[in-house]
């Protein structure tokens, strides 16, 4: 395969938003290196899968090495993997804390650092974090302390890295979804979840994919957090 074909790495890629992003990037001509803990090993139809815990540096290195050895480049990194545990802050356990930190922060740190090394050699690249609208607009009755702690960090580092690497041809952005209709939300909860958005509905996976692909094409946009949340960030 030509090393001129663009390459995207997508984490948390086995279902929901991640699976939608894999499809979206394939439809736009990218080859994809996809990761999640539960993803089936595969190599075909433009998608190579690498299973494993993204919080482990060895897994992150394997993902990056796979992209470079097979295709010689990394054009885009989508940090989609994430864990949300909704509990009152005083009820979080040490295991909850370690789990969320492991995926949301370590999972970002390792693969972003390693992918950036290749992007700097190329003098181009694009990194996108999937965060949450709860970072900027918490909702009473929806406890989200660990999401704020970790996804809030990703929102902040998006602007830091965008500034740090702008002159090296690397853009860094984020998408902050509201609550998206995925298999993780059981049907009986939908009415309540819909009510949390001013537009009165949950978001669709395709709407997050459209937002990420907009940022992919928007060459003059960096350091941006794009809210795709039915107006949730504006308040309730």
Residue 3 pLDDT > 60? no
pLDDT range class, residue 184, cuts 50, 70, 90: confident
Cα 184 to Cα 23, 90, 138, 188, 209: the distances in Å are 19, 24, 20, 12, 18
* pLDDT digits 0-9 by tens, 17-62: 999 999 999 999 999 999 999 898 888 889 999 999 999 999 999 9
CATH code, 218: 3.40.50.720
Tell whether 78 is covered by a domain: yes
Q: Which pLDDT value is given to residue 199?
A: 84
Residue 236 pLDDT > 70? no
Tell whether 70 is covered by a domain: yes
Q: Which residues contact 31 (CB under 8 A, 6 or more apart)?
A: 1, 5, 6, 7, 8, 46, 47, 48, 71
| Span 172-198, average pLDDT | 85
* pLDDT digits 0-9 by tens, 111-130: 999 999 999 999 999 999 99
In the sheet with 125-130, reading across from the earlier edge strand, the strands are 43-44, 47-51, 31-36, 7-11, 76-79, 125-130, 170-177, 225-228
* pLDDT digits 0-9 by tens, 73-100: 999 999 999 999 999 999 999 999 999 9
Tell whether 109 is covered by a domain: yes
Tell whether 203 is covered by a domain: yes
The number of domains in the chain is 1
Tell whether 96 is covered by a domain: yes
Strand locations in 138-217 (E): 170-177
Tell whether 108 is covered by a domain: yes
Tell whether 236 is covered by a domain: no
Can you give the pTM of this predicted structure?
Answer: 0.93
Tell whether 2 is covered by a domain: no
Structural domain including 199 reads 7-226
- The fraction of the chain above a pLDDT of 70, given in percent, is 98
């Amino acid at each position: 395969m030509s090393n001129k074909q663009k390459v995207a790495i997508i984490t948390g890629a086995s279902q929901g938003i991640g699976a939608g992003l894999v499809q979206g990037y394939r439809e736009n001509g990218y080859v994809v290196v996809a990761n999640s803990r539960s993803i089936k090993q595969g190599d075909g139809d433009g998608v190579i899968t690498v299973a494993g815990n993204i919080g482990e540096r060895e897994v992150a290195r394997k993902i990056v090495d796979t992209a470079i050895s097979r295709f010689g480049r990394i054009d885009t990194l989508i940090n989609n993997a994430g864990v949300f545990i909704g509990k009152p802050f005083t009820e979080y356990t040490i295991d909850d804390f370690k789990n969320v930190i492991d995926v949301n922060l370590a999972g970002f740190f390792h693969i972003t650092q390693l992918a950036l090394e290749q992007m700097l050699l190329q003098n181009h690249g694009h990194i996108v974090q999937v965060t949450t609208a709860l970072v900027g607009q918490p909702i009473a009755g929806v406890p989200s302390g660990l999401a704020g702690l970790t996804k809030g960090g990703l929102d902040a580092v998006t602007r830091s890295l965008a500034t740090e690497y702008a002159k090296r041809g690397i853009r860094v952005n984020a998408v902050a979804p509201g609550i998206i209709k995925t298999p993780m939300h059981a049907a009986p909860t939908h009415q309540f979840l819909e009510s949390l958005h001013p537009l009165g509905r949950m978001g669709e996976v395709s709407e997050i994919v459209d937002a990420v692909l907009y940022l992919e094409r928007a060459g003059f946009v960096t350091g941006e957090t794009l809210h795709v949340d039915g107006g949730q960030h504006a308040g309730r």
